[in-house]
């Protein structure tokens, strides 16, 4: 029996589906939860269902699949129960199907409807959606934005005057030609684009209308628009676990830590997630493990799909495809997901691999950083770089290093900028990163840059030039106003924001501040050395008096503007020394 307190404690506090198997590997129960760990802990005492203890005593293995939201968890639970018919899921062994939105694009004047059946009739189907009631509310909301007909074809063909839907503003009455074909087709096109997820502009328009009605003190209308926005966000939430596709697919997502690799495999049947596998590769060569991993997986599992997506391309991809094609008896394609639903599947597989990893050296903070920044590797060694200069003079850079979320000051480094004139921070950052990454030293798991999109672009250019494109990098920019710091990552237009009180945010801010402190300290040291050597050129001023002057005037930014009053009280200086220092520094400015 594996449903113990110790086993449950290692489970994630995430939304998803948990799968309980017996000692023969058969699925005996499938459940969904907002917090998987908390839900399974209830089986050890709080769950009073009569068969709960039978589930506990028969469970040998606990699996889980992390989803992005509750809707995905609900749909996935339903799909897995239908596919595997677990012994203890007696309450859900029915043929219930979830609702979908159907747009009859095969018609001259398309209509929009709610249905539970998907037919091969040329229409567009969207969904499934978990709540029929909320979907109907959403359909009403959409009707005010996209006034598409919703009457049956027989009614549509026989109408001679507009119906009530036209009078309330949710239909353009194409039945009596109140709308042009061009305008109507544009409405249908916009509606399909929205249902495909291109809904940012629509939500912005609804928000603007709500604020406008509120400003006019039309609070009842503003409340209705608020409810429309809520219905759209909660019903048409994106989900990737249930869909329609012509072929089966397997998804390989990885998560690495030192020389350990955790791999999650999602099995997609005709667009619907039906099962998953997880395994760990110990102490392997990270340069090419995917070829052998995929081959060994399918030698033990002869069910090879025609399409395989991976987040890391196998080094011997062509040869591997040929071997798998021979085993399957037809062509097999291995692809790297770049966009659309395959990319979403890859992201889900990576998230599951991250949660399955049982590494002992991983700290909660670096795991939280990996999750927050969507990394595929635990950032065990993080390096942060910062540039410090004063109008291009005494330009320096610093490197702060955190190991397992804690600073390791023995690995801190300073860099003197070479052969760059003026205040060109980008060129300086490019030089420092090139020198660091070409050095004979352990490569970092994450590079943190103090800056924004510009600094991130410089880092990516260096990585591409050195053929290190897979090295994770993030740029941290100072907060604007009352908001938290922004994080820019490759391939994403908008910045990420981490929760204000999260350990990940504090750790990344801490390494940024450490790099800045270390750079400024070294920069001040160089300025002090330069000023000290200049002061020693004054007659009667030696190293001891020069250091005393610098310490006494450390609050001044420009020594060329020094006055006798600034030097008053400086230990070891006579009136003659003060006069000569002031005259010398003033003369050096002119």
Query: In terms of domains, do 424 and 488 share one?
Result: yes
pLDDT at 161 over 80: yes
CA distances from 387 to 400, 434, 473 (A): 12, 14, 17
User: Count of CB atoms within 10 A of residue 247's CB?
Assistant: 12
pLDDT at 52 over 90: no
Tens digits of residue pLDDT in 127-143: 666 567 667 777 776 77
pLDDT at 411 over 90: no
Query: In terms of domains, do 10 and 33 share one?
Result: yes
Strands 16-21 and 27-33, bridge-based pairing: antiparallel
pLDDT at 337 over 70: yes
Which one is predicted more confidently, 247 or 305?
305
**Is the CB of residue 290 less than 8 Å from the CB of residue 315?**
yes
Which one is predicted more confidently, 57 or 539?
57
383: CB partners within 8 A, 6+ apart:
399, 400, 401, 402, 436, 444, 446, 447, 448
Mean pLDDT over 342-351 rounds to 84
- Could you tell me the CATH number of the domain that includes residue 309? 3.30.420
- Give the N- to C-terminal CA distance of the chain in Å, as an integer: 86
Query: In terms of domains, do 126 and 171 share one?
Result: yes
Handedness of CA 364, 370, 376, 381 (dihedral sign): negative
Mean pLDDT over 330-335 rounds to 92
* pLDDT > 70 in the chain, percent: 81
Strands 381-390 and 307-310, bridge-based pairing: unpaired
Query: In terms of domains, do 332 and 393 share one?
Result: no
**Is the CB of residue 487 less than 8 Å from the CB of residue 473?**
no
Mean pLDDT over 156-173 rounds to 84
What domain range is 24 assigned to?
A: 5-92
- Could you tell me the CATH number of the domain that includes residue 540? 1.10.150
Query: In terms of domains, do 148 and 203 share one?
Result: yes
pLDDT value for 278: 82
* Cα–Cα distance for residue pair 532/573, rounded to 1 Å: 15
Peptide bond preceding 576: is omega within 30 degrees of 0, i.e. cis? no
* Cα–Cα distance for residue pair 324/302, rounded to 1 Å: 10
Beta bridge partners of 336: 310
Query: Does residue 527 lie within any of the structural domains?
Result: no
Query: Does residue 242 lie within any of the structural domains?
Result: no
Q: What angle do CA 64, 278, 349 make, to 5 degrees?
A: 70
Query: Does residue 244 lie within any of the structural domains?
Result: no
pLDDT at 453 over 90: no
Q: Which of 250, 69, 107 is nearest to 184 (CA)?
A: 107
Mean pLDDT over 150-159 rounds to 87
pLDDT at 364 over 60: yes
Tens digits of residue pLDDT in 171-191: 888 888 888 888 788 778 877
Query: Does residue 215 lie within any of the structural domains?
Result: yes
Mean pLDDT, the chain, integer: 79
Query: In terms of domains, do 64 and 104 share one?
Result: no
Tens digits of residue pLDDT in 198-234: 556 667 777 888 888 888 888 887 886 787 676 555 5
Mean pLDDT over 409-423 rounds to 80
Query: Does residue 185 lie within any of the structural domains?
Result: yes
- Could you tell me the CATH number of the domain that includes residue 11? 3.40.1440.10
pLDDT value for 361: 47
Query: Does residue 511 lie within any of the structural domains?
Result: yes
Query: In terms of domains, do 516 and 551 share one?
Result: no
Tens digits of residue pLDDT in 383-403: 999 887 654 456 778 899 998
Length, in residues, of the chain: 590
CA distances from 496 to 245, 260, 469, 483 (A): 32, 28, 20, 12
Domain limit, last residue, from 360, 377, 393: 360
* Cα–Cα distance for residue pair 564/583, rounded to 1 Å: 10
**Is the CB of residue 311 less than 8 Å from the CB of residue 349?**
yes
| 8-state DSSP, 175 | G
* Cα–Cα distance for residue pair 330/187, rounded to 1 Å: 43
pLDDT value for 93: 38
pLDDT value for 476: 92
CA distances from 437 to 75, 258, 444, 462, 475 (A): 46, 18, 9, 9, 17
DSSP string, 518-566: HHHHHHHHHHHHHHHHHHTTSTT--HHHHHHHHHHTTT-S-GGG--HHH
Handedness of CA 346, 352, 358, 364 (dihedral sign): positive
pLDDT value for 92: 37
Query: In terms of domains, do 267 and 213 share one?
Result: no
**Is the CB of residue 188 less than 8 Å from the CB of residue 158?**
no
Domains of the chain: total? 5
**Is the CB of residue 104 less than 8 Å from the CB of residue 110?**
yes
* Cα–Cα distance for residue pair 459/475, rounded to 1 Å: 9
pLDDT value for 460: 92
pTM of the model: 0.46
**Residue 531, burial from CB neighbour count under 10 angstroms (0-12, 13-18, 19+):** middle
Strands 124-129 and 249-257, bridge-based pairing: unpaired
235-239, 386-390, 434-438, 515-519: the lowest-pLDDT one = 235-239
Query: In terms of domains, do 386 and 307 share one?
Result: no
118: CB partners within 8 A, 6+ apart:
100, 125, 244
Query: Does residue 50 lie within any of the structural domains?
Result: yes
Domain limit, last residue, from 336, 360, 384: 360
pLDDT at 526 over 60: no
Query: Does residue 243 lie within any of the structural domains?
Result: no
- Could you tell me the CATH number of the domain that includes residue 441? 3.30.420.340
24: CB partners within 8 A, 6+ apart:
none
Cα 80 to chain centroid distance, Å, stands at 26
83-97, 174-188, 266-280: the lowest-pLDDT one = 83-97
pLDDT value for 84: 79
pLDDT value for 461: 92
CA distances from 79 to 68, 76, 247 (A): 16, 5, 17
Mean pLDDT over 49-70 rounds to 81
Which one is predicted more confidently, 311 or 272?
311
* Cα–Cα distance for residue pair 220/227, rounded to 1 Å: 11
Query: In terms of domains, do 109 and 70 share one?
Result: no
* Cα–Cα distance for residue pair 355/224, rounded to 1 Å: 40
Q: What angle do CA 131, 137, 143 make, to 5 degrees?
A: 130
Query: In terms of domains, do 154 and 139 share one?
Result: yes
Mean pLDDT over 571-586 rounds to 80
Domain limit, last residue, from 235, 267, 295: 235
pLDDT value for 67: 82
Peptide bond preceding 128: is omega within 30 degrees of 0, i.e. cis? yes
* Cα–Cα distance for residue pair 484/505, rounded to 1 Å: 9
Question: How sure is the predictor about 91, in pLDDT bands with cuts at 50, 70 and 90?
Answer: very low
508: CB partners within 8 A, 6+ apart:
369, 448, 474, 476, 485, 487, 498
Query: In terms of domains, do 503 and 546 share one?
Result: no
pLDDT value for 483: 66
């Amino acid at each position: 029996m594996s449903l113990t307190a110790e086993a449950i404690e290692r489970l994630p506090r995430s939304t998803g589906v948990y799968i309980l198997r017996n000692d023969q590997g058969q699925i005996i129960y499938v459940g969904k939860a907002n917090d998987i760990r908390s839900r399974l802990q209830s089986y050890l005492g709080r769950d009073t269902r009569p068969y709960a203890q039978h589930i506990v005593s028969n469970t040998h293995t606990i699996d889980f699949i992390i989803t992005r939201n509750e809707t995905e968890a609900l749909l996935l639970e339903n799909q897995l129960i239908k596919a595997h018919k677990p012994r203890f899921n007696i309450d859900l062994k029915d043929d219930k199907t979830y609702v979908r939105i159907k747009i009859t694009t095969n018609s001259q004047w398309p209509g929009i409807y709610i249905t539970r059946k998907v037919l091969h009739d040329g229409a567009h189907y969207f969904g499934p959606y978990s709540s029929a009631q909320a979907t109907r509310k959403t359909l009403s909301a959409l009707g005010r934005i996209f006034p598409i007909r919703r009457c049956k074809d027989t009614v549509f063909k026989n109408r001679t005057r507009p119906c009530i839907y036209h009078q309330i503003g949710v239909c353009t009455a194409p039945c009596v030609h109140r709308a042009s074909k061009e305008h109507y087709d544009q409405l249908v096109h916009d509606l399909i684009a929205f249902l495909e997820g291109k809904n940012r502009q629509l939500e912005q328009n609804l928000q603007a209308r709500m604020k406008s009605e509120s400003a006019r003190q039309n609070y009842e209308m503003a409340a209705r628009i608020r409810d429309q926005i809520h219905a759209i966000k909660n019903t048409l939430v994106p989900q990737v676990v249930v869909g329609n596709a012509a072929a089966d697919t397997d998804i390989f997502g990885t998560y690495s830590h030192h020389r350990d690799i955790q791999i999650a495999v999602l099995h997609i049947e005709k667009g619907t997630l039906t099962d998953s596998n997880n395994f760990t590769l110990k102490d392997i060569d990270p340069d090419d493990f995917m070829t052998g991993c995929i081959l060994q997986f399918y030698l033990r599992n002869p069910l090879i799909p025609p399409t395989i997506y991976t987040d890391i391309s196998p080094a011997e991809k062509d040869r591997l495809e040929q071997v798998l094609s021979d085993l399957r008896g037809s062509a097999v394609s291995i692809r790297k997901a770049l966009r659309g639903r395959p990319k979403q599947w890859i992201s889900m597989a990576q998230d599951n691999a991250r949660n399955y990893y049982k590494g002992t050296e991983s700290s909660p903070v670096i795991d939280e950083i990996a999750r927050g920044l969507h990394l595929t590797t635990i950032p065990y060694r993080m390096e942060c770089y910062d540039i410090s200069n004063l109008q291009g003079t005494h330009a320096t850079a610093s490197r702060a290093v955190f190991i397992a979320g804690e600073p390791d000051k023995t690995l801190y480094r300073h860099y003197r900028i070479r052969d760059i004139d003026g205040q060109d921070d980008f060129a300086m950052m490019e030089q420092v990163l090139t020198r660091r990454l070409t050095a004979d030293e352990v490569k970092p798991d994450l590079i943190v840059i103090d800056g924004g999109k510009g600094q991130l672009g410089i880092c990516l250019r260096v990585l591409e030039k050195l053929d290190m494109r897979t090295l994770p990098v993030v740029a941290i920019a100072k907060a604007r106003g009352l908001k938290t710091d922004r994080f820019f990552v490759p391939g994403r237009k908008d910045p990420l924001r981490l929760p204000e009180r999260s350990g990940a945010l504090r750790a990344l801010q801490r390494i940024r501040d450490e790099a800045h402190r270390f750079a400024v300290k070294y920069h001040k040291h160089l300025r002090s050395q330069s000023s000290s050597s200049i002061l020693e050129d004054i007659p009667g001023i030696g190293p001891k008096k020069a250091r005393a002057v610098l310490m006494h005037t450390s609050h001044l930014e420009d020594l060329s503007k020094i006055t006798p009053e600034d030097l008053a009280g400086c230990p070891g200086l006579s009136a003659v020394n003060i006069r000569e220092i002031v005259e010398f520094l003033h003369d050096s400015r002119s």
